[in-house]
Structure 1
Amino acid sequence: MRLSIRNQFAGTVSAVAVGEVMSTVKVRLASGPEITAAITGEAVEELGLAEGADVHVLIKSTEVAVATGPVSGISIRNQLPGVVADVDHGAVMTTVKITLGDGSLLTAAITRDGAEDLALTAGASVTALVKSTEVSVAVP
């Protein structure tokens, strides 16, 4: 299966916390950082997710926010530090490619106004922010 989702990372489940309806799945990416996904308990069961399982993490570029540094006092669990590799301004939207610590790329699609307000340029240090409810998990 091929998907239009730009951000696709291989990883291994490091923890699963099952709730009555929703669950959290922590995935240690092959590239190093840990990502938390909030998915249904039914999905955890159907996918057979357990500690040690090999998975893929999927994040739509439109679900990635960009900050010019670490952010405290916020509920967003997934905060990935990186360096801007490229900024491509469109008429309304801007694509920002962020190099993570291991060299992998994460793509964010943000408004052009937002990118300009942050003065994003190649080489700038940033933090990519992704709500756990916007992270999907797939099994190979």
Structure 2
Amino acid sequence: MEQTRHRLRGKLEVDTDLGSFLGDTRIRLLEAIAEHGSISRAAKAVPLSYKAAWDAVDTMNNLADEALVTRATGGKRGGGTTLTDYGRKMIALYRALEAEYQAALERLAASMQDAGATDIRDFQRLLRRISMKTSARNQFAGTVVALRDGGVDFEVHLRIDADHELVAIVTRDSATNLGLAIGTEVHALVKSSAVLLLTDPGLRVSAGNQLWGEITRIHDGPVNCEVTLAIPGGKSICAVITQHSAERLGLAVGGRAGAVFKASDVILCLYT
């Protein structure tokens, strides 16, 4: 009986040292932004929901060394969206890697013709196990710039860009397991439900992290709403608060607000 030929097809992802950065859907979104100059039209072309498209853009800008996409605020659905030169370079890099990647898979498939079906299934299971996704809405790439020993825990200061730092509190065991040291690159995760919003810069709070920016989106729900702030430098942060709180604070697209969260609400991850 003729042996069945197994063809390998994979989805390419370009990762930073701190996690997933670019994949096929995100690349097609960037290409659509370059073509249409509008996030809403680009989302329809992919297709993605308007919210999912903005979430993807925010994540890419947060993890990139430079902004891939810039926006001009013009109301809840207004304004323009532009791909930067850096964004165009990332598309070109991805498409070149994609071609090399598929060629490598074809060579691997040819070399596996003598392998049994069980070996291939084991390989597939291994690939699934080493994949990881997180539900945390806010993700930041950072470098450890300070470590303060608190006896049973460490206060970790992360530089996420030229103007902003985050503070995290982790146990001594966690710091040891992660191998934290000055210069270590880590991924900081913050759940959107842990983020509080302020509108008064003079209000004093005990939370160790404050990031101020412009409100770019408010996604309304029946009870809660999701508020996204654009932070200077191209990054963003999202908070989920009640509709009552949003109304009481007078939140609106184009307004200014501060995202506040405790150091203990920051989770650190190290990708190896």
Do 2:145 and 2:159's aligned partners in 1 also have CA atoms closer than 8 Å? yes
Runs of 4+ in 1 over 4 A off after TM superposition: none
Superposed, 1:71-90 pairs within 5 Å as: 71-90=202-221
Number of aligned residue pairs: 140
Offset, 1:18: 1.9
Counterpart residue identity of residue 209, structure 2: N
Counterpart residue identity of residue 44, structure 1: A
Offset, 1:94: 0.7
Aligned position for 1:53: 184
Residues 97 and 73 (structure 1), Cα distance of their counterparts in 2 relative to 1, 3 Å cut? closer
In 2, Cα distance between equivalents of 1:112 and 1:72: 21
In 2, Cα distance between equivalents of 1:31 and 1:2: 28
Q: Indicate which of 226, 230, 251 corresponds to 1:99.
A: 230
Q: 1:92-116, CA deviations, whole angstroms, 9 ceiling, x for partnerless residues?
A: 1110011001121211001111011
Superposed, 1:106-121 pairs within 5 Å as: 106-121=237-252
Percent of aligned positions with the same letter in both sequences? 36
Name the structure where strand makes up a greater proportion of residues: 1
Larger RCO (CA within 8 A; separation ≥ 6): 1
CA RMSD of aligned residues (A): 1.2
Counterpart residue identity of residue 135, structure 1: V
Bigger radius of gyration among the two: 2
**Range 9-18 or range 64-73, more displaced:** 64-73
Offset, 1:69: 3.1
Q: Indicate which of 201, 205, 227 corresponds to 1:70.
A: 201
Instruction: Give the SS at the match of 1:20.
Output: coil
Please state if 1:13 is matched with 2:144.
Answer: yes
Do 1:31 and 1:104's aligned partners in 2 also have CA atoms closer than 8 Å? no
In 2, Cα distance between equivalents of 1:127 and 1:30: 17
Offset, 1:11: 0.8
In 1, Cα distance between equivalents of 2:232 and 2:200: 15
- Structure 2 unaligned segments of length 5 or more: list them: 1-131
In 1, Cα distance between equivalents of 2:203 and 2:247: 23
In 2, Cα distance between equivalents of 1:63 and 1:31: 24
Name the structure where helix makes up a greater proportion of residues: 2
Q: Indicate which of 113, 135, 140 corresponds to 1:4.
A: 135
Q: Indicate which of 168, 173, 177 corresponds to 1:42.
A: 173
Offset, 1:72: 4.0
In 2, Cα distance between equivalents of 1:131 and 1:2: 23
Residues 71 and 3 (structure 1), Cα distance of their counterparts in 2 relative to 1, 3 Å cut? farther
